[in-house]
């Protein structure tokens, strides 16, 4: 199975900061990568699909980039509602889907 590795595991930041979260795949996954935000007690919320496409209704402060094995989620200006845990996910029809281990974004 394809392994997804996120870094960092925890990130301390302030409101207004620019934040980058990295996700690496154990083999090339082209652009078959999604990013989710999860808050405590809630289901994950899709932010980005196919590596760089913003899901409907998601603020433009979120963006995704990358292809192959290295991907980045960027929050251009952190807002109070953005403090949460973020997961990358590999998905396609040919192999089992897998999640990264998560990145917790906390208030500095």
Name the minimum Å distance from CB 31 to another protein. 9
Phi and psi angles of residue 42, each rounded to the nearest 5 degrees, phi first: -120, 160
Among 2, 52, 55, 61, binds another protein (CB under 8 A): 55
Q: Which of residues 69-108 bind another protein (CB under 8 A)?
A: 87, 89, 91, 96-102
Q: Please state whether beta strands 70-75 and 53-54 pair in parallel, antiparallel, or not at all (unpaired).
A: unpaired
- The DSSP result for 13-38, as a single string, is E-TT--EEEEEEESS--TT-EEEEEE
Phi and psi angles of residue 80, each rounded to the nearest 5 degrees, phi first: -55, -35
Among 11, 34, 75, 78, binds another protein (CB under 8 A): 34
Does 63 help bind another protein (rule: CB under 8 A)? Answer: no
Name the minimum Å distance from CB 97 to another protein. 4
Name the minimum Å distance from CB 50 to another protein. 6
Helix, strand and coil in the chain, % to nearest 5: 5, 50, 50
Structure tokens at 72: 């980045």
Does 44 help bind another protein (rule: CB under 8 A)? Answer: yes
Binding residues for another protein, rule: CB under 8 A, are 1, 34, 36, 38, 43-46, 49-50, 53, 55, 87, 89, 91, 96-102
């Amino acid at each position: 199975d394809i392994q997804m590795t996120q870094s960092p595991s925890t990130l301390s930041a302030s409101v207004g900061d620019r934040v980058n979260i990295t996700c690496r795949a154990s083999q090339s996954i082209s652009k078959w990568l999604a990013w989710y935000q999860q808050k405590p007690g809630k289901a994950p919320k899709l932010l980005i699909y196919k590596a760089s496409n913003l899901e409907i209704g998601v603020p433009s402060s979120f963006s995704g980039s990358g292809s192959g094995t290295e991907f980045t989620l960027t929050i251009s200006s952190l807002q109070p509602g953005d403090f949460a845990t973020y997961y990358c996910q590999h998905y396609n029809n040919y192999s089992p889907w897998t999640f990264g281990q998560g990145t917790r974004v906390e208030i500095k």
